[in-house]
Amino acid sequence: MSRADLIFIEMCKDILENGFSDEGAEVRPKWPDGTPAHTIKKFGVVNRYDLSAEFPILTLRPTNFEKAIDEILWIWQKKSNNIKDLNSHIWDAWADENGSIGKAYGYQLGIKHRYKEGEFDQVDRVLYDLKHNPYSRRIITNMYNHADLMEMNLYPCAYSMTFNVTGKKLNAILHQRSQDVLVANNWNVVQYAVLVHMFAQVSGLEAGELVHVIADAHIYDRHIPLVKELISREPYPAPKFVMNPDIRDFYAFRVSDFRLEGYVAGPQIKNIPVAV
């Protein structure tokens, strides 16, 4: 039985049983028919995943492993803010006529900053510190740049990573301001688990723990019956995560360098309504 499934089930149960409903309040998100999209939420959800024990992908339903990796490479490796560099359509609704999502996500990671050691963007600074100063307590990235928020087509949801080396293990905290639990929870967990594995391998380290901190973990009103059905399912064992062991350059990774062995999952939930 996958540990990621158990974490997801317990989180959803807690939200449904003990969460706060904003029913009746004025909310920003709307359903495609214009109806307000209300939620039930929990504040300050913290989930911990031991990446050395198993890969944290849901088996209750399939998570699109390849597309999740493609997006994380788009943000962290290509440092792109243009959907023309992305091999899926998940950002189409937020892009302008030129394909840009504004000064968001990858754009922020690619901005160079001055340090006493020279100029680095945020990703290259992480790589530098993991190589030259792995026990630093300052290995942090942040995409929530207040100066550029008005030029972002969507404010960053998963916005910050804090990396920390303990012995030979690379641990990380993913900070997320808001999350649609049904649509995005495991997608983000899979992405950042892969990212930790990538940084660990190119830095001569081992993947340790991923801690996912969600300020506002919510289930939309129209998702409640879908979530209840999902968490009633029987989980399968976690698959084996395999990454090309020969790659030592962070920028050399491709989607084809990652695979899952023995991934078995329940049926997909189709036609999930998405609030915008």
Identify the active-site residue in 9, 69, 123, 157. Answer: 157
Q: Residue 257: name the closest of 70, 30, 22, 11 by CA.
A: 70
Cβ contact 173:139 at 8 Å: no
Residue 218, annotated as binding a ligand: yes
Question: Which residues have a Cβ under 8 Å from the Cβ of 255 and sit 6 or more positions away?
Answer: 66, 69, 70, 73, 87
Confirm whether 126 is domain-assigned: yes
Confirm whether 155 is domain-assigned: yes
Residue 236, annotated as binding a ligand: no
With cut-offs at 50, 70 and 90, classify the pLDDT of residue 2: very high
Residue 1: its pLDDT value, please?
78
Rounded Cα distance, 174 and 159, in Å = 8
Residue 42: its pLDDT value, please?
98
Annotated catalytic, 12? no
DSSP reduced 3-state for 164? strand
Residue 188, annotated as binding a ligand: yes
pLDDT single digits (tens) 116-156: 999 999 999 999 999 999 999 999 999 999 999 999 999 99
Lookup result for tokens 């290509």: 78
Residue 155: its pLDDT value, please?
96
Residue 138, annotated as binding a ligand: yes
Rounded Cα distance, 195 and 21, in Å = 33
Confirm whether 193 is domain-assigned: yes
Confirm whether 266 is domain-assigned: no
pTM score of the predicted model: 0.97
pLDDT single digits (tens) 174-193: 999 999 999 999 999 999 99
* Domains in the chain, number: 1
Residue 179, annotated as binding a ligand: yes
The domain that holds 79 is classified in CATH as: 3.30.572.10
pLDDT single digits (tens) 77-110: 999 999 999 999 999 989 999 999 999 999 999 9
Confirm whether 50 is domain-assigned: yes
Residue 268: its pLDDT value, please?
97
Domain hosting 104: range is 42-218+241-261
Residue 220, annotated as binding a ligand: yes
Cβ contact 15:218 at 8 Å: yes
Confirm whether 235 is domain-assigned: no
Distances (CA, A) of 170 to 2, 42, 163, 165, 180: 22, 28, 7, 5, 27
Distances (CA, A) of 224 to 2, 201, 208, 213: 23, 39, 33, 22
Residue 177, annotated as binding a ligand: yes
Residue 276: its pLDDT value, please?
84
